[in-house]
């Protein structure tokens, strides 16, 4: 995308606006990178290959799709500036020693994409972990009318869903399929073999423990899929049954607790694969994965557990005791009240949580006194994060 600049404090690259929070004051060219000094005294380094790769000019980025057409393997590995300076508009301007190509970089863009350790850490999203006490002090709660009609209210809700991994929307219209309308405020629904929307009611021909009156132990939904659904929506239309209360646990909090207190169990839970099976007449899903996934920075990014969807574990014999020790540890901790959020869903409540982080369960219920009907659906994490970014652009 061509760079659009004016004399104001912001400018655009791609679809995003970059504010000038601080200004570059000098540029110092070294062998394979340059150093920018900022007016707040900080320094950032940018490698020449990285800078050339990120040229925003019309030859390098097509204005049609705002996607890169330039390929870094088409210039020498040793490419260097023949000239680099800070322009009067506070842009970094480079002329390259190959093909005399000219590149301009906005101050705000450079700052936003600076890759020093401190800058990367500052941009990293950090989940707000909770236990019983913390979630009872503050439970993200939002109003149906607000999130449906107001973009800022929607964004505020989505930030909390992202950070806490849990929220309750109150006063939701109890007509059928309303859950779909709410989920579509975010984006596409993740369809599964249980449908686009699933009805959680006790059925005679149940194909899931969810569709009985039985207690459901703490679980994530669809651990049997390579990609577990991100957000889960459970909208209560009717709950006049006895029992059926919801219990939720922040799986990241349990993972953190195990990491700090039982490091051997943490290693087992992050390196040894559990087996998950979902068998039905017309489908047979299976997936093997550790119960806790960490990214390449070692941060916990996913929890995957459901007792009623497990298959026989198939790992090396000398690791079998270790995986059972880890799995039992996780479940026994998750059963402790100090980690549990307890809530009875009432008609008009919509519970939304990160299914790849928060375990959910419900007590057994009896239908003698009345009916119980929830409707649910899923939206993937990517959709949530994309919606947040687009709302941020629109509301900026
Ligand atoms: C589910 C589920 C909870 C409930 O459908 O996956 O966990 O309260 N339901 O019925
Ligand atoms: Zn270019
Ligand atoms: Zn469930």
Ligand 1 proximal residues by C-beta, below 6 Å = 200, 210, 216, 221, 246, 360, 362, 374, 376
Tens-digit pLDDT profile for residues 45-76:
999 999 999 999 999 999 889 999 999 999 99
Please tell me the predicted confidence (pLDDT) of residue 17.
86
Please tell me the predicted confidence (pLDDT) of residue 19.
87
Distance between CA atoms of 309 and 220, rounded to whole angstroms? 10
Confidence of residue 396 (pLDDT cuts 50, 70, 90): confident
Residue 341: alpha-carbon gap to chain centroid = 21
- What's the gap in Å between 64 CA and the centre of ligand 2? 15
Q: Evaluate if residue 13 carries a pLDDT over 90.
A: no
State the closest ligand 1 atom to the C-alpha of 198, by its place in the atom list counted from 1: 5
- What's the gap in Å between 117 CA and the centre of ligand 2? 27
Q: Report the mean per-residue pLDDT for the chain.
A: 95
- What's the gap in Å between 55 CA and the centre of ligand 2? 4
> Which ligand is in closest contact with the Cα of 103?
2
Distances in whole angstroms, Cα of residue 321 to Cα of each of 94, 102, 231, 266 = 60, 61, 33, 14
Residue 130, burial from CB neighbour count under 10 angstroms (0-12, 13-18, 19+): buried
Residue the block writes with tokens 């393997």:
73
Please tell me the predicted confidence (pLDDT) of residue 20.
85
State the closest ligand 1 atom to the C-alpha of 219, by its place in the atom list counted from 1: 7
Confidence of residue 10 (pLDDT cuts 50, 70, 90): low
Name the DSSP class of 262. Answer: -
Q: Evaluate if residue 8 carries a pLDDT over 60.
A: no
Could you tell me what percent of the chain has a pLDDT over 70? 97
- What's the gap in Å between 194 CA and the centre of ligand 1? 13
Q: In what order do the strands lie in the sheet with 43-47?
A: 24-29, 33-38, 43-47
Please tell me the predicted confidence (pLDDT) of residue 15.
87
Distance between CA atoms of 178 and 373, rounded to whole angstroms? 13
Average pLDDT over residues 344-370: 96
Strand pairing partners for 372? Answer: 239
Could you give phi then psi for residue 171, rounded to 5 degrees? 60, 40
> Residue 242 is encoded by which pair of tokens?
């006895």
Which of 168, 241, 360, when mutated, tests ligand 1's pocket best, judged by the most ligand atoms within 8 Å of its CB?
A: 360
Q: Whose CA is nearest to atom 2 of ligand 1?
A: 210
Please tell me the predicted confidence (pLDDT) of residue 7.
44
State the closest ligand 1 atom to the C-alpha of 211, by its place in the atom list counted from 1: 5
Q: Which residues contact 266 (CB under 8 A, 6 or more apart)?
A: 255, 258, 259, 292, 326
Q: Which residues contact 152 (CB under 8 A, 6 or more apart)?
A: 395
- What's the gap in Å between 96 CA and the centre of ligand 2? 10
């Amino acid at each position: 995308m061509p760079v659009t600049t004016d004399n104001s404090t912001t400018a655009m690259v791609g679809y995003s606006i970059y504010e000038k929070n601080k200004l570059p004051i000098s540029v110092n060219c070294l062998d394979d990178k340059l150093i920018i000094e900022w007016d707040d005294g900080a320094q950032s380094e940018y490698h020449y290959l990285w800078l050339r790769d990120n040229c925003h000019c019309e030859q390098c980025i097509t204005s049609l799709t705002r996607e890169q057409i330039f390929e870094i393997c088409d210039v020498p590995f040793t490419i260097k500036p023949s000239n680099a300076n800070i322009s009067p508009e506070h842009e970094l301007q480079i002329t390259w020693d190959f093909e005399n190509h000219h590149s301009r970089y906005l101050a705000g863009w450079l700052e936003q994409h600076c890759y020093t350790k401190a800058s990367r850490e500052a941009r990293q999203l950090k989940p707000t972990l909770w236990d019983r006490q913390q979630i009872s002090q503050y439970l993200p709660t939002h109003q149906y009318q607000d999130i449906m009609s107001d973009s800022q209210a929607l964004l505020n809700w989505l930030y909390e869903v992202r950070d806490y991994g849990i929220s309750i929307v109150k006063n939701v219209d109890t007509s059928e399929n309303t859950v779909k309308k709410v989920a579509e405020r975010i984006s596409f629904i993740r369809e599964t073999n249980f449908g686009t929307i699933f009805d959680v009611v006790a059925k005679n021909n149940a194909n899931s423990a969810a569709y009985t009156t039985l207690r459901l132990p703490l679980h994530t939904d669809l651990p049997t899929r390579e990609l577990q659904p991100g957000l889960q929506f459970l909208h209560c239309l009717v709950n006049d049954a006895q029992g059926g209360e919801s219990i939720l646990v922040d799986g990241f909090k349990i993972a953190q607790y195990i990491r700090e207190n039982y490091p051997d169990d943490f290693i087992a839970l992050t390196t040894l694969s559990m087996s998950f099976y979902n068998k039905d007449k017309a489908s047979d899903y299976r997936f093997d994965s550790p119960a806790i996934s960490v990214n390449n920075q070692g941060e916990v990014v996913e929890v995957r557990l459901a007792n009623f969807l497990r298959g026989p574990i198939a790992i090396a014999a000398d690791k079998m005791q270790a995986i059972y020790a880890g799995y039992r540890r996780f479940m026994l901790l998750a059963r402790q009240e100090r980690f549990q959020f307890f809530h009875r869903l009432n008609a008009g409540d919509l519970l939304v949580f990160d299914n790849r982080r928060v375990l959910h369960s419900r007590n057994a219920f009896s239908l003698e006194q009345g009916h119980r009907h929830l409707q649910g659906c899923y939206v993937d994490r990517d959709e949530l994060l994309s919606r947040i970014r687009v709302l941020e652009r629109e509301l900026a």
